[in-house]
Chains A and B, each alone.
Chain A
């Protein structure tokens, strides 16, 4: 009996994320709007590239293919407008399952129509938002333990696991890849004309110390992340480093959508308690700064 109560208490503490998830929800919706505006700016080119709207070659009996339809260019524009309107509305109201599911449905159809527009972050978000649609924020604050709490905790765990496995996979592949294991991968990456910001790339590529250090630091960070994120003590440090890491990718390679999205995913690892601690931490810093200023 004691063990069951212990497990229930653990699950309740694990699910204590209603506030951080609401922040995650708002952040992702803002990202949806940012991404949609970027799509809208290139809409002429997107609809002109006819084969981008080709039917999927084969449908897989499982997975997201069941929900993907072949949009014509006009339907694509309509879906994009609806997606933007729904995202704007979702900023001001707490979304229920149907709103989240509709956003997800529009999102995967927009992406599947134009595979070239997808990047690692956009495809990862399709899975994350699918799981997120089933989470009822109100039930996370429920006073009595129920089977739904178990379901919620498995959903939350699965969302976190998507992120963690990306880091594990990236670290393991990098260790086994020549450019990364020899410490020169950044030199090659920063030569791709589409995704190179000369301001940063020249600085890094011209310095062997920076190239090798940043290449190995990337592998080290990705190796450490899955373990450090589990500990209450190291969680904040690794999230801070992760934000620096992804903003570094965003600014040096110009992968803005991807970089910003990956930093948002760290919200999934924070509980309401962590949020309180952060508020306290920042209030102390603000007070000290005010004291110094006065």
Chain B
């Protein structure tokens, strides 16, 4: 009974602190997600820093309007320029299309992520005028990721030619004119596996 008398205020205090933290969390969540206003601007830095840690992907993916998609393709350089390009994720993507309950969903996610990171790198390089783009790419972690991905699908001890391709979705008003996605090659190179 005596022990409980000592513990009770401590427990109540801890629960009180926990409740305050929960309310603070809800406040920061609200401030970081509502449109900019005087209150959200005042606390935006702290709130966004905190909330982005909880959701590394960011919260604005709930409003997608993708106007382009990206793809990495490669081929064995020894086969010459006439060799067909391969997209190693195509099989997984097609399986996922046929059966969304199947197990290709995560492979499609990995492909999306790799493509998104490469697209971000490409956008950054467009803004940076005075940079050696090839050197910058080779120093970027995304390049290591690209090589390990080519290694996984391409094999070992071979020279591989790769391309990073952008597919632009035709504008809604022009969908009758373009019946397919518009293809642009953004980056290309060779890599020894």
The answer on a CB contact under 8 Å between A250 and B56 is no
In the assembled complex, which residues on chain A have CB atoms less than 8 Å from the CB atom of B66?
Answer: 188-189, 191-192
Question: For the complex, is A127 an interface residue (Cβ under 8 Å from B)?
Answer: yes
Whole-angstrom distance between the Cβ of B48 and the nearest chain A Cβ: 12
Q: Closest residue to B65 on the A side, CB-wise?
A: A179
Residues on B with beta carbons closer than 8 Å to the beta carbon of A195: 108, 112
B151 and A194 form a contact (CB under 8 A): no
How far, in whole Å, are A192 and B11 apart by their CA atoms in the complex?
52
Given A37-B103, A42-B107, A187-B175 in contact, is the A115-B152 Cβ separation under 8 Å? no
A37 to B102, CA, bound (A): 10
In the bound complex, residues from chain B placing their C-beta under 8 Å from that of A63 are 50, 53-54
Chain B: interface secondary structure? helix
Within 8 Å of chain B (Cβ to Cβ): is A94? no
Q: How far is the CB of B56 from chain A (nearest CB, A)?
A: 6
Residues of B within 8 A of A165 (CB): 29-30, 33
Instruction: State whether A150 touches B106 (Cβ < 8 A).
Output: no
In the assembled complex, which residues on chain A have CB atoms less than 8 Å from the CB atom of B64? 185, 189
Number of B residues contacting the other chain (C-beta, 8 Å)? Answer: 64
A180 on the interface (CB 8 Å rule)? Answer: yes
CB neighbors of A among B71-126 (8 A): 71, 89, 93, 96-97, 100-101, 103-114
Min Cβ gap B102→A in Å is 8
Q: A131 to B19: give the CA distance in the assembly, Å.
A: 11
* Contact status of A65 and B93, CB under 8 A, knowing A191-B181, A254-B108: no
CB neighbours of B50 from chain A (8 A)? 60, 62-63
Q: In this complex, what residue of A is CB-closest to B172?
A: A184
A168 to B109: give the CA distance in the assembly, Å: 26
Shortest distance between the CB of B178 and any CB in chain A (Å): 11
Distance between Cα atoms of A63 and B54 in the complex (Å) = 7
- Chain B interface: which of A19-27, A49-57, A285-293? A49-57
| Bound-complex Cα distance A250 to B60 (A) | 19
Q: Is the CB of A194 within 8 A of B65?
A: no
Interface residues of A in 248-294 (CB under 8 A from B): 250-251, 254-257
Known A-B contacts A60-B49, A127-B54, A256-B100; the reply to A120 vs B15 at CB < 8 A is no
User: In angstroms, how far is the closest chain A Cβ from the Cβ of B192?
Assistant: 17
Q: Interface readout for A55-84 with B: 1 if CB under 8 Å, 0 if not?
A: 000001011110000000000000000000
Asked if B53 and A64 sit within 8 Å, CB to CB, the answer is yes
A151 to B56 Cα, complex, angstroms: 28
Contacts of A148 in B (CB 8 A): 15
One digit per residue, 1 when the CB lies within 8 angstroms of any chain B CB and 0 when it does not, for chain A 171-207 equals 0111011111000110111011111111000000100
- The stretch of A4-12, A154-162, A231-239 in contact with B is A154-162
Known: A45-B107, A169-B62, A173-B63. A251 touches B18 (CB 8 A): no
Q: Does B158 contact A (CB under 8 A)?
A: no
Q: Give the complex CA separation of A39 and B105 in angstroms.
A: 9
Taking CB atoms, residues of chain B closer than 8 Å to A134 are: 18
Residue of A nearest to B152 (CB): A48
* B18 cross-chain contacts in A, Cβ below 8 A: 134, 151
A contact residues around B62 at 8 Å (CB): 120, 166, 169-170, 173
Q: Which of A37, A170, A191 has the most CB of B within 10 A?
A: A191
Name the CB-closest residue of A to B46. A62
Q: Kindly identify, within residues 122 to 157 of chain A, every residue whose CB is under 8 Å from any CB belonging to chain B.
A: 123-124, 126-127, 131, 134, 147-148, 150-151, 154-155
Tell me whether A38 is interfacial, beta carbon within 8 Å: yes
Residues of A within 8 A of B96 (CB): 194, 254
B32 to chain A, nearest CB (A): 9
* Besides A65-B53, A168-B33, A194-B93, 10 new A-B residue pairs in contact (Cβ under 8 A), listed by A number: A48-B148, A49-B152, A115-B56, A118-B56, A119-B109, A131-B22, A158-B25, A161-B26, A165-B30, A193-B167
Chain B interface (Cβ within 8 Å of chain A)?
11-12, 15-16, 18-19, 22-23, 25-26, 29-30, 33-35, 49-50, 53-57, 59-67, 69, 71, 89, 93, 96-97, 100-101, 103-114, 141-142, 144-145, 148-149, 151-152, 167, 169, 172, 175, 181
Smallest CB-CB A-B distances: 8 pairs: A116-B113, A41-B103, A179-B65, A170-B62, A254-B100, A173-B63, A63-B53, A169-B33
User: Can you list 17 A-B contacts (CB < 8 A)?
Assistant: A42-B106, A49-B145, A51-B148, A119-B61, A120-B62, A151-B18, A158-B25, A165-B29, A168-B33, A174-B63, A177-B65, A184-B172, A191-B69, A193-B167, A194-B112, A254-B105, A256-B100
